[in-house]
Structure 1
Amino acid sequence: MRTALFVLMLSCGIGHSIQGFAATIGVSVDISSDRHPISPDILGVSGAPDLDQLAYPLVRWGGNSTTRYNWQADVHNAASDWFFMNIPDGNGTPASSSTEALIAAVIAAGSRPLVTLSTIGWVPKPVQQKRWGYSVLKYGVQTMTECSYFGSNPPSWCTADAGNGRCNPAQNQTMYCNAAGYIVDNDPLDTSDVATPQTATAWMAHLQQRFGSANSGGIRYYALDNEPMLWNSTHRDVHPQPLTYDEIWQRTVEYATAIKVRDPAAKVFGPVTWGYCDLFGSAADNCLDGADRAAHGGTPFVKWYLQQVCSYQASHGIRLVDYLDLHYYPQGDGVVDFSDPPNGSETAAASARRLRSLKELYDPDWDSESWLSDLGNTTPWHYSRPQLLRRVRAWIDESCPGTGLAITEYNWGSDNGASSALAQAEALAIFARERVDVAARWVAPASGSLVERAFRLFLDFDGAGGRIEGFSTRAISADIDSLGAYAVHAPGQRMMLLLFNKATTTTTAAINLGRSFNGAWKLYQFTGTSNLAQVGAGTINGAAINLSGLPARSASLLVLPESDVIYANGFDF
């Protein structure tokens, strides 16, 4: 325990700098202000994590390969990620499928699965063999095949006939190769069969039979497919036309209605956007604005979608979409990097940019350090200033109050990046403060990785199941670019303060707690070079505490004893 690194000072002031440390930053806490419950479902991940190692509360089964999945045959289509290819996953039966094994493991661990249901209208053919969307033999020579992808020494299992759907008109003079270099007019039946809402609800019925309904321990969360505004790219072999406002709403009505009939207690997530552009426009528009948006009164797509949800509910008495489901990846150079260091993503410039980019989630005055800044700030929507969570919260409050907010894909860097781990930890704190209801990182961090430390800080900070849970309350840092501060109150248990030192030097946090605390405190911490551990302890009898020597690029959790507090409403929590 590195208790000696920290100095506890009790006073009425904010403290003072300690010689040798770069800065002292004031933090003020008000346990009774900005108070709202934190949803544990913000601590979710996608993929297949080892829940015995860390009990993530939510696990999402989603991504491009879930748009076309045949549950009866356990076959998925990899779409543009891998040559539009059907790939068998098991032995052809639902009982042995990897998907149902994942769902079973999640439920058995006491976690909540979020299952993606296909709405694209196609499923892979129910055969245990590879099939592909763009046959070279059928559609002509293409710019890459599954075998040429590997260069001069392809593996024996590759298929030379499986093309990527791109072509050079000078080499491929069939009617299928257009001037833009794409294979067109291919037959979707090469890989897929027609599907309907009943196809999706037949799988729901099977899952209910095995796991129970939403109200009896079964699956409660269902997503309306994955990033449909990209289908004309990711799944263009079966849906080459860009999706419009009206088409996605019609699919929402058809599929969400069927889901609610099958299980009225189920919660539906939609429209599952892919990123920044489809907050504002459809795939038929030019990213943010275009003819489709103009035909819908110039209303941004997500805001319009919310209006349809509540308008439908008012007319039909059915809430079709319970959670507004968005995906978001910061666009700054080097910020999102799925490879492991050493690489450019942990350079000084990229690391600093990554940590600043968190302000894209909430700061109305922050201009993105990415191509978003080129979009300008003169329109009513201030495109260059994302303020994602506050923007969409305002749209929810205005257009469809009561809708939950879900960010079911996001990423702030590689698993083993020091700044990535710090950014991940602060992102979770921001989700808690900004009233996000569900979130799932893409994808679950590797066991033992730096980013796993960020989740462990929230889910098992003391190695004995200690969680950051309860109510988010007000905490204000005098310098948020250097020190992020977030307060959480667990009534009857403890008061917690999260501190993220984003500076490249040590920092002293001079904390005014707003009221007196009395008893033992503990400090937990991780850095890019140290695992999460208790690093300090002491006693407090007052309203102020100085923590000196907070290491550069570190995440710290101060756990304080519960105080006897009577709130303005006259009740204890």
Structure 2
Amino acid sequence: MIFSLLVLSASAAPTIVIDASDVRPISPFIYGINNPDWKGIGRGVTLARQGGNRMTAYNWETNASNAGNDYHHQNDNYLGASNEPGWTVSNFLRPAQSHGAAAILTVPTAGYVAADKNGDGDVAKTPNYLSVRFLKSYAHKPGRLTYPPNTKDRAVYQDEFVAWVEKIKSNRTPVWFSLDNEPDLWGSTHQRIWPKNPTYAQIIANNVEFAMAIKRVAPKALVFGPANYGWQGFRRFQDAADANGRDFLNTYLDALHQAERKGRRRLLDVLDVHWYPEARGDNVRITDNNDKPGTAAARIQAPRSLWDPTYVETSWIADSLGKKPIELLPRIQTQIAQHYPGTKFAITEYNYGGGNHISGAVAQADVLGIFGRYGLFAACNWGLNPRDQMMLAGFDAFADFDRHGSRFGDLGLKVTGTNAEANSVYAALDSKNRRRMTIVAINKTGVPMPLTLSLRGFRARNVRAFAVTSDAYRTPRAASARVKTSVVTLTAAPFSVTTLELSK
């Protein structure tokens, strides 16, 4: 299998240096999935997010929701036939926590939630639909918060929802809250509630109000926001009417920082955006269900736009920058440092495509390595399920590389000597066992690649290795690697992800 753009000479074995004295913590929460299928996935998942368009008009009192433009703008029982208050959330939260995963729950902030489960198509067919087919949704409830909630008062209160979650959750894993989902697209996705997209001023006021409500009843829980859908969302809030050339994230961070100073309480803990790459190859976007050679080649290189100051992808985003590198993670981290220091950073939806193509395994593994290296706090793949065997294999190269629960370490190490176009190498120690080192070596080329890994400050005696290749992904193939004190040698198969575990 050869992708025309990826056959590079690998006759000489590059020496890659891993420095065990240069250590940076890796957040455990980057190995996340949205709405995971726990029957087919689960051993390595550390974070589960209950998100998506359906949550914007989710009525926690009855589990009714509105599909938005995903399906005829109809109210129905898609999220749960049961009328037990919170049934949908408790049935998400319970298995997530039982599998040892932290959880992010979405708090609807758009102002209206579905009032019924009629499933009769567009709610706009009903006269006065906004008052008939929806209920007002408020941040704060006046008076006492109760469970079960009052379902006869024609109102739904989100602080009451959060207070209920705080009572039912397990203390084994963290439970956090997201300020709705992709508000920069509400004017399209949820136009029955928001006929036009919110402005900067509207969404900032909205997020401050609802964050205050959450913090009042769950002061220790992290709040994520604003869950922008993508580049135009977090740059210009989808050309909001009051953008006036301002960068949205800069404006948003400044405003939330000011709200903290005014209220003497941090309201936003984690800046959250979504990232679906726009990179293209063979005139096809890499996230499409297409694995043309050029598309696969572009997918393998696309993770470089997360960090690489020398890489310019083929996309309208790069074009909008004057055909310059995107450098997404350093770019946003710099904005955080300048406008709201101390705020964590998350990407709670992403997907690079290639669910059943080796390029999907390579890209997914590379992305997780980059997330760890660049200090991302949390990340959740959107759409990953047991049918995406290749993408899942790339995920498991870090999260469950031997299929018996072994995972990549949590103390990232400095690595030098790689060639970003041809290979990536990530290494880590284990905070609970400093005699253990894990390494993920990715060959992005169509030929075998000899690698020499020079270890500084770590002397290994034993090595075991597992390789994900185009013909070994459900169960990774045992790979041949040799270790002699401070030097590891291996030949990485074409288009492969190899995880090594070293021990003293």
- TM-score, normalised by the number of residues in structure 2: 0.88
Q: Read off the aligned partner of 2:339 and give its amino acid letter.
A: S
Match of 1:406?
346
Match of 1:293?
243
C-alpha contact (below 8 Å) 1:527/1:554 kept by paired residues: yes
C-alpha contact (below 8 Å) 1:476/1:486 kept by paired residues: no
In 1, Cα distance between equivalents of 2:465 and 2:120: 55
Match of 1:40?
28
In 2, Cα distance between equivalents of 1:348 and 1:26: 29
In 2, Cα distance between equivalents of 1:397 and 1:224: 21
Pair 1:349-2:337 in alignment: no
**Identity percentage of aligned residues:** 26
SS in structure 2 opposite 1:394?
helix
Alignment partner of 2:184 out of 205, 229, 239: 229
Match of 1:241?
196
In 2, Cα distance between equivalents of 1:99 and 1:249: 26
1:134: how far off?
5.2
SS in structure 2 opposite 1:559?
strand
Q: Read off the aligned partner of 2:101 and give its amino acid letter.
A: S
1:539: how far off?
5.8
1:309: how far off?
2.1
- TM-score, normalised by the number of residues in structure 1: 0.78
1:237: how far off?
1.2
Q: Read off the aligned partner of 1:303 and give its amino acid letter.
A: N
C-alpha contact (below 8 Å) 1:90/1:96 kept by paired residues: no
Alignment partner of 2:71 out of 69, 82, 107: 82
Residues 68 and 414 of structure 1: is their aligned pair in 2 closer, same or farther, counting only changes over 3 Å?
A: farther
Pair 1:130-2:119 in alignment: yes
C-alpha contact (below 8 Å) 1:132/1:190 kept by paired residues: no
Q: Read off the aligned partner of 1:517 and give its amino acid letter.
A: R
Deviations 1:542-570 (A, max 9, x none): 3323212x1111001122224xxxxxxxx
Pair 1:547-2:490 in alignment: yes
Match of 1:174?
none
1:236: how far off?
0.8
C-alpha contact (below 8 Å) 1:106/1:113 kept by paired residues: yes
C-alpha contact (below 8 Å) 1:118/1:224 kept by paired residues: yes
Alignment partner of 2:133 out of 173, 191, 197: 191
Residues 91 and 372 of structure 1: is their aligned pair in 2 closer, same or farther, counting only changes over 3 Å?
A: closer
Match of 1:481?
421
C-alpha contact (below 8 Å) 1:47/1:59 kept by paired residues: yes
SS in structure 2 opposite 1:497?
strand
C-alpha contact (below 8 Å) 1:415/1:445 kept by paired residues: no
Residues 135 and 315 of structure 1: is their aligned pair in 2 closer, same or farther, counting only changes over 3 Å?
A: closer
Match of 1:360?
305
- Matches for 1:10-409 after TM superposition, within 5 Å: 22-33=11-22, 35-50=23-38, 53-55=41-43, 56-88=45-77, 89-94=79-84, 97-125=87-115, 127-133=116-122, 135=124, 187-198=129-140, 199-211=157-169, 216-217=171-172, 220-285=175-240, 292-294=242-244, 298-333=245-280, 334-337=284-287, 339=289, 345-377=290-322, 384-409=324-349
Match of 1:514?
456
In 1, Cα distance between equivalents of 2:134 and 2:174: 27
By percentage of residues, which structure has more strand?
2
C-alpha contact (below 8 Å) 1:462/1:534 kept by paired residues: no
Residues 59 and 338 of structure 1: is their aligned pair in 2 closer, same or farther, counting only changes over 3 Å?
A: farther
Deviations 1:238-271 (A, max 9, x none): 1012211111110111100000001111110001
C-alpha contact (below 8 Å) 1:74/1:91 kept by paired residues: yes
What are the ranges of 5 or more consecutive residues in structure 1 without an aligned counterpart? 1-19, 139-185, 286-290, 340-344, 378-382, 563-573
In 1, Cα distance between equivalents of 2:263 and 2:217: 17
C-alpha contact (below 8 Å) 2:409/2:437 kept by paired residues: no
What are the ranges of 5 or more consecutive residues in structure 2 without an aligned counterpart? 1-8, 141-156
Residues 447 and 477 of structure 1: is their aligned pair in 2 closer, same or farther, counting only changes over 3 Å?
A: farther
In 1, Cα distance between equivalents of 2:225 and 2:372: 21
Q: Read off the aligned partner of 1:102 and give its amino acid letter.
A: F
Residues 366 and 235 of structure 1: is their aligned pair in 2 closer, same or farther, counting only changes over 3 Å?
A: same
C-alpha contact (below 8 Å) 1:335/1:413 kept by paired residues: no
In 2, Cα distance between equivalents of 1:232 and 1:241: 4
1:48: how far off?
3.2
1:45: how far off?
0.3
Residues 190 and 363 of structure 1: is their aligned pair in 2 closer, same or farther, counting only changes over 3 Å?
A: farther
C-alpha contact (below 8 Å) 1:79/1:234 kept by paired residues: yes
1:415: how far off?
2.1
Residues 96 and 403 of structure 1: is their aligned pair in 2 closer, same or farther, counting only changes over 3 Å?
A: closer
In 2, Cα distance between equivalents of 1:442 and 1:52: 15
- Matches for 1:497-536 after TM superposition, within 5 Å: 497-515=439-457, 517-531=459-473, 532-533=475-476, 535-536=478-479
Considering only aligned residues, what root-mean-square deviation do their CA atoms show, in Å? Answer: 2.3
Residues 447 and 95 of structure 1: is their aligned pair in 2 closer, same or farther, counting only changes over 3 Å?
A: farther
C-alpha contact (below 8 Å) 1:522/1:538 kept by paired residues: yes
In 2, Cα distance between equivalents of 1:325 and 1:495: 31
Residues 95 and 245 of structure 1: is their aligned pair in 2 closer, same or farther, counting only changes over 3 Å?
A: closer
In 2, Cα distance between equivalents of 1:190 and 1:529: 56
SS in structure 1 opposite 2:502?
strand
How many aligned residue pairs are there?
472
In 2, Cα distance between equivalents of 1:251 and 1:52: 38
- Matches for 1:416-565 after TM superposition, within 5 Å: 416-446=356-386, 449-491=389-431, 492-515=434-457, 517-531=459-473, 532-533=475-476, 535-536=478-479, 540-548=483-491, 550-562=492-504
SS in structure 1 opposite 2:384?
coil
In 1, Cα distance between equivalents of 2:330 and 2:60: 38
In 2, Cα distance between equivalents of 1:253 and 1:366: 37
